[in-house]
Amino acid sequence: MAMARAENSLQAARSCLAQRCLDSAASRAYFAMFQVAVCALEAHGVHRPEWSHRALHAAFADVLIRRRTVLPALLAGALPSAMEIRHAADDRQPGPSQRQVQRAVMTAEQFLRAMREVLQHGQDSAV
């Protein structure tokens, strides 16, 4: 999966948040995180033709946090937390609050920033 896809999802999350389309912003923020997590796992040799959400969350925490310790432990819960806000946006009435969605988008920005560093270091070590 290309990093550009995650960046596009993050940009869509920001745009939706600015337009107060909170449910869509929450969804795009989560998928930005999901997509970049796939990129990071692939950069560390973990490939699958398709990822379930649960499998991705588990592999992310196991491979990048526990085994290889390339990420801080506090990021282990970021994907499940963002998914919970996305589920609230998709399935519940009322959906998440503006504050929850703002926090989700901010978390996605921080998550992508951390993943960019992981991907950069992965490329540096491959050279």
pTM for the whole thing? Answer: 0.90
What is the three-class DSSP state of 76? coil
Q: List the domain range (segments joined by +) for residue 89.
A: 3-126
pLDDT of residue 120: 84
**79 Cβ contact list (under 8 Å, min separation 6):** 30, 33, 34, 37, 56, 57, 60
**Contact between residue 36 and residue 5 where contact means Cβ atoms under 8 Å apart:** no
Number of domains, the chain = 1
pLDDT of residue 126: 36
Looking at per-residue pLDDT, the higher value among 67 and 20 belongs to 20
CATH, residue 12: 1.20.120.330
pLDDT for residue 124 is more than 70? no
- What whole-number distance in Å separates Cα of residue 114 and Cα of residue 95? 28
Q: How many CB atoms lie within 10 A of CB 5?
A: 16
pLDDT for residue 127 is more than 80? no
pLDDT tens for residues 31-85?
Answer: 999 999 999 999 999 999 999 999 999 999 999 999 888 888 888 899 999 999 9
